[in-house]
């Protein structure tokens, strides 16, 4: 019996991503950890409150975030756990793909009209999708 594991990241995975980034500004953390601005603020505040990151000023006076010793220890533990659970060839950990069939696209064929010898863009798109699914 195979069941799928969610592909959404947990808070622990996000914390792991943030702690891996060394000496980064808030915006850089946001982009590299693929977070929204409010999420970034929430996670950085949590990590500061727990003593897992520290904030320093760079030469320009901008805030730079870096893992503390406690944060580096947590990073090691999280890396070990994530590494132990990473089995990319395990079918249980691979998310199920939606069935790929031409019929699963409800918009296919919706724009078919007769316009002389040139097919409208939607028909050419339909033909390209049909060729792709035939492979």
pLDDT tens-digit profile, the chain (135 residues): 344 444 577 888 899 999 998 889 999 999 998 899 999 999 999 999 999 999 999 889 999 999 999 999 999 999 888 888 775 555 554 455 554 554 555 444 444 455 555 555 555 556 666 666 665
Provide the token pair at 35. 């977070």
**Cβ neighbours of residue 94 under 8 Å, at least 6 residues apart?**
4, 88
Look at residue 4 in the predicted model and tell me its pLDDT: 43
Q: What kind of fold does domain 11-85 have according to CATH?
A: Arc Repressor Mutant, subunit A (1.10.10)
Q: What are phi and psi of 117, to 5 degrees?
A: -80, -15
Helices (H), the chain: 11-20, 26-32, 37-49, 69-85, 121-134
Instruction: Return the domain boundaries, the chain.
Output: 11-85, 102-134
Provide the token pair at 38. 């409010």
Look at residue 90 in the predicted model and tell me its pLDDT: 52
Query: What is the C-alpha to C-alpha distance for residues 39 and 60, in angstroms, rounded to an integer?
Result: 25
String of DSSP letters for 83-99: HHH--TT-TTTSPPPPP
pTM as predicted: 0.58
């Amino acid at each position: 019996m195979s069941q799928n594991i969610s592909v959404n990241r947990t808070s622990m995975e996000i914390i792991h991503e943030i702690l891996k980034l060394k000496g980064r500004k808030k915006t850089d953390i946001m982009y590299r950890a693929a977070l929204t601005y409010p999420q970034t603020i929430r996670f950085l505040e949590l990590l500061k409150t727990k003593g897992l990151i520290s904030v320093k000023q760079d030469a320009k006076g901008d805030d730079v975030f870096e893992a503390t010793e406690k944060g580096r220890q947590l990073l090691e533990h999280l890396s070990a756990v994530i590494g132990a659970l990473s089995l990319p060839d395990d079918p249980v950990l691979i998310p199920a793909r939606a069935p790929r069939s031409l019929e699963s696209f409800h918009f296919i064929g919706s724009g078919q009209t007769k316009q002389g010898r040139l097919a409208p863009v939607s028909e050419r798109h339909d033909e390209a999708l049909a060729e792709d699914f035939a492979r």
